[in-house]
Structure 1
């Protein structure tokens, strides 16, 4: 909660930071107890859905549909003040590996959930 830089802060700010950290920890614990996704998890899933939809559209010969989605994505990145060429290079590179990326993400999540379950069983066994 407090760190070395807190030494210069007024006490009211230190208390506010600690209160925020407690609230955040509580929120995270409730979310984990419900096994609910974080915003980042939803964003990653949506990104993969977009890439997979584009991949499927291209396989079905709907090239213009895939191109419209790509343009919209690049416009969004440009609106957020990212370089268009750099965004296109990054986005197009991900499209080439989306199937492997999805499998890796899902696999990593499943592995982490198994480890959590094993740790919970182990903790229960030691009680």
Structure 2
């Protein structure tokens, strides 16, 4: 399997796991010492903190899906631009344009940088039908 095929398979597995609400597979997609950096906070998270955050997001949402995906390989990683659409348990819909830049080694994500405008998340969480 080529490096490109391996890296893109990691990306597909990762995003499919988020859509399915499978936090265990997301955790396994990360290297133990992964660094996850968020552009909206300019803060880093470790694997366990990120998986805990994702678990909370999964609990708040009935479904999650990525649309308008543009997945691109680069040596040692991938970039994906997408629209994340998630529906809260109360029916509020989040439409979040985002981009992720990920470095991959040995079949796992070693660094993830996430870029999105947090205003959409704040508006979504304050919607009357959020919960």
Q: TM-score range by the shorter chain?
A: under 0.3
TM-score (norm 2): 0.27
Structure of greater Rg:
1
TM-score (norm 1): 0.27
Answer 1 or 2: higher relative contact order, Cα 8 Å, separation at least 6: 2
- Decide which structure has greater strand share: 2
